Every structure is written in C-alpha cells, then in structure tokens.
Structure 1
C-alpha cells in the first residue's frame, strides 16, 4: 500500500483493518449525521492540543443532544493509533456518533459508536479562497458545533475547488465574515489581527484559540471583531487557521491576489515554534 493511502483505525477496543466493515448500517452517524468529530495534528506519535479537542468534542456532543463519550476510552484509542502510526506527520480523526437507531430523525438507541483513525496530511501551504454564495446560519441549531452533518461544507468546498480555490469562505446571514469549511479567518487591519467573534456562527477553532493566546502573549494585538464580508474582499493581508494547517496566509480571494502579511508571518512563526514546545497547551 502506498504511504499516502495508509490509514490506522481503532474500533471497539482494538486496531482494525481499515477496509473491514465495522459500523452498523443503522448507525445514526450514517443515517442522519447524528455525530460529532475532531481532527488534530499527530506529530511523531504526539497529538497536538488533545485536551482542547476532547473538551470541544464533549461540548459538541452535549450541544447535539447525544451522550458524551468516555474520555478515558477516547484517550486510550488515540494513544493506540498514535503508537501504531509511528513517526512522522498525520491527521488523527476522532468520531463519536449516537449509535444505532431508527431510520429517521428520532433519537438513537445507542450505545454510541467511537472510531479513531489516523491518515496522512500534507504540509501546510498558502491558500487561495473563494467566497461562496451560501451563508452560514449563526442562529441555526448546529451553529458552533463540530458535527458530522458536513453536507454544507462539502458542497461549498466543491464549489470553491471548481473555481481554482483551496478553501471556501462563508458569510453569515447578517452579511458578516464568518469562517471557512474547516478553518477560521483572520484579517490584518491597522496593525491588528482581527477574527470574527463566536456569535458570528463560526466554530470555536482550537488553533484559532491557541493562536490568539500565543500571539497576545508575544505582544501582537489580536482581537475578535465582527466584520462585513467586504473586509476580506478588500483586505491586503489575511490568513486561515486550522488544526492541520496551523496559520497560513491567504494568497488569493476570488482570484484577487494577496501577499502574506507581516503579522501573519510573525504569528505563523510563533505557532510553529511553540506548538512543538507545548504539545498540549
């Protein structure tokens, strides 16, 4: 098997062949998207910011109204796939669903289903983005939750890629800058890094939070601020953050070229250095 196709999978207490059928066909994670997940960087067997990711996994499960997973079991599963994966860079994905249930939207019967997998991930690079014609509903039932109901994101990302972009960016229903399909957005403005507040409907990104904390500690002015979508359309410098990208510059918005900004480059350097020094901030 080529290295790029390698997957290490944990299910029901053990490492499994990732091609083996494991999850029931009536699992609510499949039938109605009734599940939550996290994805974190795995570097040389060490998951980055695992505690923060598990905190958010539990918040998302509670917000979705499904049982919260056993944290000790999740930690054990991550440890086992990390050991099996070995050295190098990977993406660890933790999936928790409500478990088997009716073939409809009524509550699942359970018990919940836990799947943890590691696969390859590319090195971070500058990103071209497209602003999609769809909106993020900041008042929706799933706003701020990281759920497996990812159809909107998949549609938006496909739309962006058809136009030569790497990532899609949403406005919310108020016309404010919100987020990408799997990223948070930062805009450089008047010597500050600005990012939409959580009430914009964006996900509380783990990397977003770490970047804001570390940049502030090192004297860079980073603020949450509601911004019109035009702030990104007109920005000279902007950036994205995510768990597998860290902080990377946006080099095009709807084919309008941008240059990497000084604050983006400074914070990216801070993040690169400190995330190696502090794997569970």
Structure 2
C-alpha cells in the first residue's frame, strides 16, 4: 500500500494519544510514522473513509460501512478496497484498544504528485485507527444551528464520504462558536440537506421525514437503519419527496418548539433540544424513534 511508514512520513502510530493505528499490514509502534507527505489523501484529499461506533469491542454495522466505503471509492475512481484485509485490521486494532468508542477506516489513492493528477498504478494507502482511549459517552441530545453555506447537490462527489472535509470543519467551527454541536445546511436549491456529520429528520404533519438522497445528503448508515426499523415497527417515518422539506421547514420547527432529530454512526439517533437560540421539546414520535433505535441496535451489532 502506498504512502505508509518510513522516516519521511507524517503522524503518530501505535497507541500514542490513546489511539491504536494499523497501517502497512500491522499495528504501528507508538511514535512510528504513518503517512508520506506526498500521499494524495494528504495533499489533495483524494481518499475515502468510514467512521464506526464501537459496541462491546466490535465495530457497529461494519458490513454496511464497508459497503459504503467501496461505493465511495468507486465514485472517486479508486479500486475497491480489500475487504478481508480491512476486517482483519479492524479486528486487530480493536483487540489492542479494548476501551475504544469509535473506529475510522481511511483509504487514499496513495502517493501522488503535488497536483490533482494521480500516479497510475500506485498502491492505495490504508489506515485503520481505533480511539479514543475511553468509552464514548452515552448518546446525548444535540444542539444545532443553521449556517449560511450550502451543499452542492450536483457536485461530482455528492453522496461520497471523502477525506475532503474542509467545508464541514468550517461549518462545525461556526456551530461550536455559538455553543452548539452541529451545523445544519441547505442545498443550492433551498432545500434542507444535512448536518456536517449527521443526517436530519424533521417532524411534519405527524410524520418524521428525512431529506432524500437527491438533496445531496450522505446516505447515512444510521439514517437507513432508522428508516428500515421505523417502517417495520409501523411508525410514520419516511424519506421525503424531492422539494418536500424546504429550508424554511426549520422555521416551522422553531415556531412549534419541537420535532428535530439527528442521526450518525457515533452520535446514533438523538433529539435536537435547541435550534439556534430556541429550546426544543422532544415530541412523542421523536422519543419513540430514539427508543426504537436504541433497542434494535442493542440486539444486533452488524445489522
């Protein structure tokens, strides 16, 4: 695999900082270098990744995450990652990080020039990291703010989980500065899209709706499970039709003071209890969906 190891690398391997890092087919020693400074994932964000929650020492919904990793790689024009290699790496890092609460798998195009072009035939860089050292706290209600930037639903990388995450970093920093822990974004045509690291569900007319994938949002693993499990339980939860959730729907949420949910692999499924400066109540439907997800997720670590 390209770009891992060597004195010219960057980053810290092993168990330093509460992390366990796997690269080049093995867990690295503390302080050991991880990436080359000319890895294309580092220089131009030419890579894909997945982040999983960890439950009882196992990566939650790993099969679904690996399926999405493969889809993202194909969307970037990268070769399919070696699934057997990744599963072995996940097993090893979690064995050596028994208190981990999350796991990240990153695959990049490998070594490349300092521009956007790739080096043909270059082996991929594959890195698997488990951390932090302590367990992630129980899922907590979220506080969100609206930000002025938008998702481009016509982007060539729409729906792909790529390492080009600067837009999310900027938007989340805005939210953090306002005392929130998530930022919500519209798309270019004025529809509600998603958060920086979460999907969103909005209560409308007695139903809980999530923006369609055509809005430009990521096909979240937790989003899909909420839709599947809620449908099976007979709850009124569904994907909205295109245009059914305009950005202004959040004004309605503020007006009635309830009905907003965030989903994500580490966040799981949680109610939003504040939007901008407005406190929100947890509606009965929201609570039923949150409770259903917690129950079903506890039953199967790889649904």
Q: TM-score range by the shorter chain?
A: over 0.9
- 1:188 partner SS: strand
Inter-CA distance 27–166: structure 2 relative to 1 (3 Å threshold):
same
Inter-CA distance 175–18: structure 2 relative to 1 (3 Å threshold):
farther
Alignment-derived partner of residue 214 in structure 1: 229
Alignment-derived partner of residue 207 in structure 2: 192
- 1:83 partner SS: helix
Q: Note the C-alpha offset of 1:89.
A: 5.1
Distance 1:186 1:108 in 2: 41
**The 10-residue stretch of structure 1 (180-189 or 102-111) with the greater mean CA deviation from structure 2:** 102-111
| Equivalenced residues, count | 278
Which residue of 77, 80, 84 maps to 2:89? 77
Alignment-derived partner of residue 255 in structure 1: 277
Contact 1:145/1:203 (<8 A) preserved: yes
Alignment-derived partner of residue 101 in structure 1: 112
Q: Note the C-alpha offset of 1:47.
A: 1.0
Alignment-derived partner of residue 5 in structure 2: none
Alignment-derived partner of residue 297 in structure 2: 275
Distance 2:69 2:184 in 1: 23
Distance 1:263 1:241 in 2: 15
Distance 2:100 2:284 in 1: 27
Which residue of 117, 123, 145 maps to 1:111? 123
Q: Note the C-alpha offset of 1:4.
A: 11
Distance 1:276 1:19 in 2: 36
| 1:1-281 map, 5 Å | 5-17=17-29, 19-86=31-98, 88=99, 90-109=101-120, 110-120=122-132, 121-225=136-240, 226-235=244-253, 236-281=258-303
Contact 1:136/1:178 (<8 A) preserved: yes
Q: Note the C-alpha offset of 1:18.
A: 5.1
Q: Note the C-alpha offset of 1:233.
A: 2.8
1:72-95 deviations in Å (ceiling 9; x for gaps)? 101110111111112x45100000
- 2:101 partner SS: strand
**The 10-residue stretch of structure 1 (121-130 or 28-37) with the greater mean CA deviation from structure 2:** 121-130
1:165-205 deviations in Å (ceiling 9; x for gaps)? 11011000011000000000001122211000000000000
Inter-CA distance 108–271: structure 2 relative to 1 (3 Å threshold):
farther
Structure 2 unaligned residues grouped into runs of 5+: 1-14
User: Structure 1 stretches (4+) deviating beyond 6 angstroms?
Assistant: none
Contact 1:233/1:253 (<8 A) preserved: no
1:99-157 deviations in Å (ceiling 9; x for gaps)? 00111000134200000001123331111111111000000111100000000000000
**The 10-residue stretch of structure 1 (265-274 or 55-64) with the greater mean CA deviation from structure 2:** 265-274
Contact 1:7/1:18 (<8 A) preserved: no
